[in-house]
Amino acid sequence: MSVLGTLVGVVIPYVAAFIFVVGVLYRIFTWSKCVVPFKIPTTCGQQKSLPWLNRTFMDRFDSPYTNWETAVRMLMEIFLFRSLWKNVRYELPAQTAVSTKWLWLFALTFHWSLLIVLIRHFRFFLQPVPDFVNLIQGLDGFIEVDIGWLWFQPHVVHIMVTGLTLFVALLYLTYRRLAFPRERTFSLPSDYIALILLLCVAVTGLLMRYVIPVDVAQVKELAQGLLSFHPPASPDLHWLFMLHLLFVSLLLAYFPFSKLMHSAGIFFSPTRNMPNNNRAVRHINPWNYPVKGVDWDEFYENFKGDMEELEQMGYVVKPEEV
């Protein structure tokens, strides 16, 4: 057990964390090195033009003019999934499109749940546990349930809502790729890998909370040891926790090579992070180079006859005399 313990408990997490940090930074570095030649926001609302024109509150952010409006647009995209909220489904025989919010609902549920679950995990790494972590933990787990039926004896637990919503949302996101014909068509193996890894992490986590409790004190000891770079030589923890840790490590190591990088990439998306003030603030293309076209003199030479006639007309076109 001890060699395996060292491997899964210490070596793999460190390697995975290293790949994660370096990989993500490398990808972000690559993106920031690419230049942005044009200002191409997708304008989803009325532009700022004439001051009296009807421009709704949301137009300001769907078609932002200033930098702070653009920042709000980004925040709404990141925290509320504004664009997914707009989703519609085209109904073919009826030839209309109806609003559909399922993807928005489950995607948002998944991401928010994941965020809160991650924050809750801070309690393993930080001593003393910060107040906000305790607060979130308390809010998340306000439902107390006796799951004695599972245990054949009274057993009261706090239901962590986000853990369950995370799991349910993941199930839906997997289900739609398998069951909907369109989604099945464009889903690649990598799309399933991400979902499977996340599901494995979630399932092992849920099992530890509700079915096979593990010694949390030991877990915390290991987490803090890893964080302070003084890990125990051969941690000997419950197999279920080790499995959980292994899946988390795999997920971290896989992260920079995968589409999961969208979490950082959205900040670089030029159709969302640029203001729609193109005609007021000129954008400079750093690699712009001159291209020779036909200039006036050449044009004049080519059409000399026409141009001379135009000169005789005094550059004015008048109606024919009747």
Partner 1 sequence: MQEFEEEEKLEIVQKFPGWKEILKPTTEMKKGFYSYAATLRDQEYLNLPFPREWSPLDEDWKLPPNWKEIIIEKMDELRKKYRSFQVFMDICVRCGACADKCHYYIGTGDPKNMPVVRGELLRSIYRRYFTKTGKIFGEWAGARELTEDVIKEWYLYYYQCSECRRCSVFCPYGIDTAEITMLARELLNSIGISQRFSLISAAACVRTGNHLGLSPGGVVNSIRYAVDDIKEITGVDVEVPVNKKGAEILFVTPSGDYFAQPHWFTFIGYIMVFHELGLDYTFSTYAAEGGNFGFFHSFEVAKKINQKIYKEAKRLGVKWILGGECGHMWRVKHQYMSTYADETYEDALKVLEEPVNPVTGTVFENASSTKMVHILEFLADVLKHKKLKIDKSRNDHLIVTHHDSCNIARGMGLYEEPRFVIKSVCNHYYDMPDHSIREKSYCCGSGAGLLADELMELRMRGGMPRAMAIKYVHEKYGVNHLTAACAIDRAAFPTLLKYWRLPVQMGGITELVANAMVMEGEIERDTDLRGNPLGEYLEVEI
Binding residues among 161-200 for partner 1 as defined by CB under 8 A: 176, 180-191
Cα torsion through 228, 229, 232, 234, rounded to 10: 150
**Computed from CA positions of residues 213, 216, 222, 224, in that sequence, does the dihedral angle turn out positive or negative?**
positive
Q: Find the binder of partner 1 among 10, 12, 16, 44 (CB under 8 A).
A: 44
CB of 31 to partner 1, least distance (A): 6
CB of 206 to partner 1, least distance (A): 24
Using rule CB under 8 A, residue 107 touches partner 1: yes
Is residue 37 within 8 Å of residue 286, measured between CB atoms? yes
Pick 3 or 281: Cβ nearer partner 1: 281
Using rule CB under 8 A, residue 87 touches partner 1: yes
Other beta carbons within 10 Å of 277? 20
Phi, psi torsion values for 182, nearest 5 degrees? -65, -45
Pick 3 or 280: Cβ nearer partner 1: 280
Using rule CB under 8 A, residue 218 touches partner 1: no
Q: Is 229 left (phi over 0), alpha (psi -120 to 50) or beta?
A: left
- DSSP state letter for 273: S
Radius of gyration for the alpha carbons in the chain, expressed in angstroms and rounded: 29
Tokens (6 digits) for 114: 């994941």
Enumerate the β-bridge partners of residue 157: 145
What stretches of 116-162 adopt beta strand conformation (E)? 143-146, 156-159
Binding flags for partner 1, 283-302, as an x/- string (CB under 8 A):
xxx-xxxxxxxxxx--x--x
Q: Find the binder of partner 1 among 54, 153, 228, 312 (CB under 8 A).
A: 54
Taking CB under 8 A as the criterion, which residues in 223-242 touch partner 1?
none
Q: Find the binder of partner 1 among 27, 121, 220, 238 (CB under 8 A).
A: 27
Q: Find the binder of partner 1 among 101, 239, 265, 301 (CB under 8 A).
A: 265
CB of 243 to partner 1, least distance (A): 25
Size of the site for partner 1 (CB under 8 A): 105
Q: Find the binder of partner 1 among 17, 19, 36, 243 (CB under 8 A).
A: 36
CB of 91 to partner 1, least distance (A): 9
Enumerate the β-bridge partners of residue 93: none
Pick 187 or 218: Cβ nearer partner 1: 187
Q: Find the binder of partner 1 among 148, 150, 211, 259 (CB under 8 A).
A: 259
Cα–Cα nearest to 110, from 41, 16, 202: 202
Pick 37 or 138: Cβ nearer partner 1: 37
Using rule CB under 8 A, residue 101 touches partner 1: no
Residue 89's contacts (CB-CB under 8 Å, 6 or more residues apart) are 97, 98, 99, 100
**Computed from CA positions of residues 114, 128, 14, 242, in that sequence, does the dihedral angle turn out positive or negative?**
negative
Q: Find the binder of partner 1 among 14, 55, 122, 250 (CB under 8 A).
A: 55
Is residue 109 within 8 Å of residue 117, measured between CB atoms? no
